[in-house]
Amino acid sequence: MITKFNHVAIVVPDLNAAKNKYKEVLGANVSEISNYIEHGVSVVFVELENTKIELMHPYGENSPISKFLENNKNGSIHHICIEVKDIKKAVEKLKLNGVRILGDETPKKGAHNKPVVFLHPKDFYGTLIELEQE
């Protein structure tokens, strides 16, 4: 069902500082900051040869990651993203196996404009998993 690793997302307290640190200290290829109003996040993409890291910061009033940053003031890994071939089939199989899907269980367009769902971290060893259709 799962195929490729897509990204790891890290919530950071200062997106500009984090962007510069990845660029200057680690010599990484970093994107400009993109604001996703509908997702309530600002994101910097750190491009690696085989994958990417997404640095995230809350955007707007009701960001879904505000609480997370409050609880992790220095930042922390927020989720990992793995690709699947068919996200609807994946959701069906997960539900049959008692895995909870966050929200209303319907795949939504994510930051890469592809359908995504998030799996309940309590059902996957304390890790929030984003599944994205390839």
Catalytic residue set: 130
Taking the complex as a whole, how short is the minimal distance between the CB of residue 93 and Co ion, in angstroms? Answer: 21
Decide whether 83 or 130 has the Cβ nearer to Co ion: 130
Dist. CA 123–CA 52, nearest whole Å:
25
CB 125 within 8 A of CB 76: no
Contact between 12 and Co ion (CB under 5 A)? no
- Tokens for 106, please give them: 């319907």
Taking the complex as a whole, how short is the minimal distance between the CB of residue 76 and Co ion, in angstroms? Answer: 14
Contact between 130 and Co ion (CB under 5 A)? yes
Taking the complex as a whole, how short is the minimal distance between the CB of residue 56 and Co ion, in angstroms? Answer: 8
Cβ within 8 Å of residue 21, ≥6 positions away: none
Residue in this structure with the two tokens 């929030």, named with its chain if needed: 128
Contact between 84 and Co ion (CB under 5 A)? no
- Specify burial of residue 106 (Cβ count, 10 A radius: 0-12, 13-18, 19+): exposed
Contact between 132 and Co ion (CB under 5 A)? no
Tell which one of 10, 12, 44, 81 touches Co ion (CB under 5 A): 81
Residues within the interface to Co ion (CB under 5 A): 9, 81, 130
